Amino acid sequence: MIFPSKGITGLSSPNLPSASDYFNPNERNTMKVKLAEALLRRKELNDKVQQLHQIKSDAFFEMRIERIKVTDSLDEVRAHVPFLKANEITQEYDYYAGQLRKLDASIQNANWVTEIDVDDKAMTQFTEQ
């Protein structure tokens, strides 16, 4: 199963849960996935979080006004108004960052409790030290 990631088009999605909905300790839905799928999803989530972090940290939400002199008696005023609100980006950022943290925790747990078969010579120097 491959998890497709949403693009920037999902930013204004009203279906995203709030942080309090996501971090409800009484509710935990889980599913079984292959470790390779979880690693792929972790990369996708990390990319999404980095993308949202960049948007969140830019001066993207500032309203800017500039005055440009057209002639001696005429000035043009330009206003740059953001299309999105900062809290929309912050909400989505928090959601995906939370998913990334939970997935990382599951991968770390699998890392510590899973044993694999390897050639004994591959671990010789490691066990002697």
HSE-up of residue 4 (Cα within 13 Å, Cβ side): 3
Could you tell me the residue ranges of all domains in the chain?
35-112
pLDDT in tens, 25-79: 455 678 888 888 999 999 999 999 998 888 776 666 677 788 888 888 888 988 8
Q: What is the pTM of this model?
A: 0.55
